[in-house]
Each structure stands twice: as C-alpha cells, then as structure tokens.
Amino acid sequence: MSNLPASIERPSDDQFTVVLTASVGREESSFESDLDFLIFIESDETYRQFEEFFVFFRKALLEELEKLNFVAPDFGLMHLCQTFVTPERLQVGISPLAWRQYVEPTVILDARAVYGSEKLVDRLQQALAFKLIEEREAWLQFLKEKKLEPFKETLRNGLDQLVAGDPPGDYKVQFRRIIPFMVYYLVTANIEKFSDSDTLNLPLTTSERLEKLAEVGVLDNDDAKFLQESHEVILQLYTRYSLVEQSSHPKANLYILTLEERERLQYIAEELLRLFDKYITL
C-alpha cells in the first residue's frame, strides 16, 4: 500500500481483513482452482468512512495479482469479492432465499485471514453460526436442492465416464466438491456442536472437519476415515488430471488413470452414494 494517495484515509489493520476462501482457504486447491478473496470489514460504518480506501485497495490487489499472472488461463480464474462483508450485512444476507445477492455461508466458513485482523474472521464466523441456527432448515434445504442432489445425480450418471479415465469438465469438478459439501451439510445440521458463546470451533480443512464430525458423534469413525481417505485420493487424481490436461500430447488423456485407480474411484463413488442415503435425506 505504499502507493496509497495521501488524500485517501486508511483504516487500521484491526478494522478489516483480507481472506482466502473456498478450496484455497481450506488448503485444498489444485492447479485449476480459482483464487477466491473476500474483504471483511468490522462494520458498515467503517466501510462508509473508508469507502474510497477499500475501492482503491481492491483495485490495487487485483493489479498486483495480475503482475503474478494469476489471471492467465493456465492459472484458472481469480475472483475478487464484489460485495464487502460486514456483520450487519451478514445478519441480513445469508438467507438462501436471496443467496445470489450475498456471499454464501460456505464461503465464510472457509475464510482464512491472510492480511489484517484474524479476530474479525472469528467474529463473522460466530455471527454466521448464530444465523445458521435461526435459518437452519432453509439453508439445509438449499444445500440439498442446489448442491447435494445434483452431486448425487452426478455420481449416478457420470460414473462410467469417470472410470473410463476421461470425465467431462463439469463432472470432474463436481466430483471434487462432493465430500466438502457433504461436510457443509453435516456441520450446518449440527452447528451447535461446533460453536459456543464466543467462537465457532470449526477446523480448517475437510479432513480435519471429518475428524471433528466423528469426535462429536455425527459420523461413525469408519465412515469419517473412509471419507478422509477418499477426499485425499480425489484431490490427488484431480490435480494430476489438471496437469495432464495442460499437456500438448494428443493422447495425454489416455494416461490419466490406471485400471487400479479406476476401480478405486468406482468403489469410492458407490460408497458415497451409500453414505448419502445413510446421513443425508434427499
């Protein structure tokens, strides 16, 4: 921020924070992952007072990332949040009935501070926990209809393409997201087990969250372990698939999955369908 014009007033570092979120925030990104940012601000009043700074800051951040080629096709897409998040906005903005107008709760759950106040992240996540308790049924219904039902259909209809070693792009991406969204659903359904009056005690990674879900009795230990191992397998193969897709070799896709890997993914998909029926009523 050394190039900040002298005419623009700057807030203190404890009044805002920049977070990474989604797969990057969970430390589960791949070569094709988006680089998702949010800017948390302590209040609407702070935003109004320093609006000129925040507009400048967002533009400067984008320009710096462009210098690092994060907007090039080989690095996927970079999303810079167009809606600043404050506690006031969060209190009225997470209803799934108007979800397109605001940041989704899952994005806030995955937030990891990279600049500014970590306490602000805790504050917003705890505010989210209270709001999710109030709107739990509506949000669970949203997750079922918009996320989990399409994922389940993907497992049923796209399995033959996956094990053939040449899944289409949408199927490949959805398969990578299935377990994290199962976790979002189970966490939301049992949010009291992860929060107290002061903080939301939600681990960072999907694997750690699965371990916590078993610890609090939401998942059977064997199921949690299976989901942890499966998530790691999916991430590893997805990363390799993404790298191979960048290859100029005309037959690159033929070398993506071994027969053993295909059989393992088929088993994972079949077990995920069983666990859907066991833990999630669709």
Provide the pLDDT confidence category of residue 200 given band limits of 50, 70 and 90: confident
Residue where a domain terminates, one of 86, 117, 133: 133
Instruction: Determine what percent of the chain falls in helix, strand and coil, rounding each to the nearest 5.
Output: 65, 10, 25
Region 90-113: mean pLDDT is 66
Give the per-residue pLDDT at 82: 46
**Cβ 20 vs Cβ 36: under 8 Å:** yes
pLDDT at 73: 37
Highest mean pLDDT among 25-29, 55-59, 88-92, 181-185: 181-185
Q: What is the CATH classification number for the domain harbouring 212? A: 1.20.120
Verify that 140 and 127 share a domain, yes or no: no
pLDDT of the residue at 74: 38
Amino acid at 186: L
What's the confidence (pLDDT) of residue 100?
46
Looking at residue 225, its pLDDT comes to 97
33 is in which domain, residue-wise? 13-133
Do 263 and 166 fall into the same domain?
yes
Residue 26 shares a structural domain with residue 153:
no
- Residues 188 and 116: their CA atoms lie apart, in Å, by 27
pLDDT value at position 77?
Answer: 41
Q: Which residue has the tokens 């990674």?
A: 205
Residue 47 within any structural domain of the chain:
yes
Residue 269 tokens read as 């998909």
Domain boundary, last residue among 99, 114, 133: 133
Whether residue 40 is predicted with pLDDT greater than 60 in this model: the reply is yes
**254 pLDDT above the threshold of 50:** no
Query: What average pLDDT score do residues 100-116 get?
Result: 79
How many C-beta atoms surround the C-beta of residue 235 within 10 A?
A: 18
- 91 falls in which pLDDT band (50, 70, 90)? low
Task: Report, as an integer, the average pLDDT of 245-269.
Answer: 67
28 in a domain, yes or no? yes
Domain boundary among 101, 133, 165: 133
What is the predicted pLDDT for the residue at 1? 62
In a domain, 65, yes or no: yes
In a domain, 5, yes or no: no
Return the pLDDT at 44. 84
Chain segment 201-252, per-residue pLDDT in tens: 889 999 999 999 999 999 999 999 999 999 998 888 777 666 555 555 444 4
pLDDT of residue 152: 84
The CATH number for 113's domain is 3.30.460
pLDDT of 69 > 70? The answer is no
Average pLDDT over residues 101-117: 81
Query: Does 172 share its domain with 272?
Result: yes
Examine residue 186 and state whether it is found in any structural domain, yes or no: yes
| Tally of structural domains, the chain | 2
86 falls within a domain: yes
Same domain, 200 and 67: no
Round to whole Å and give the CA distance between 225 and 56.
46
